[in-house]
Structure 1
Amino acid sequence: MCESTAYLITPEGERKVMDYVVDVVPKENGKLLLTDLLGEEQLIEGMLKEVRLLEHKIIIEKVK
């Protein structure tokens, strides 16, 4: 499968925000729309920092 786990980096550290992410769409005002394998959506404030395809990891940095 090709789904990944999304993590949000904040000054407090890294935390998981969503498992089984299959789609990341940039939205206005510094937000990203994440969609998982079952179609659940989550809007995250932040910018895409890194995607590690071999590790199935999406890193999002909190907008300051």
Structure 2
Amino acid sequence: MCESTAYLITPEGERKIMDYVVEIIPQADGKLFLSDILGEEKIIEGMLKEVKLLDHKIMIEKIN
């Protein structure tokens, strides 16, 4: 399977925000559009920090 888990990195630590992510689309306003394998969608304020394909992890850093 090719799904990954998205985590939001904040000053307090990292927090899981979505499982089974299959799509990430950067938006023009500093946000990321995420969708999962079941069609759930989220828009997250932040920037893509790191993607670990072998670990199936997407790290998103919160923008102040």
| Fold match by TM threshold 0.5 | yes
Residue 44 of structure 1 corresponds to 44
Query: How many angstroms apart in 1 are the aligned matches of 2:24 and 2:55?
Result: 16
Deviation digits for residues 27-50 of structure 1 (CA, Å, limit 9, x no counterpart): 121100000001110000000000
Identity of aligned residues (%): 73
Alignment deviations for residues 5-62 of structure 1 (CA, whole Å, 9 cap, x no partner)? 0000001110000000000000121100000001110000000000000000000000
Structure 1: gaps of 5 or more residues: none
Aligned counterparts of 2:17 and 2:30: Cα–Cα separation in 1? 16
Q: CA RMSD in A?
A: 0.5
Look up the match of 1:61: 61
Q: 2:4 matched to 1:11?
A: no
Structure 1 letter corresponding to 2:47: M
Equivalent residue pairs, number: 64
Structure 1 length as normaliser, TM-score?
0.97
Displaced runs of 4 or more, over 6 A: none
After TM superposition, the score normalised by the length of structure 2 is 0.97
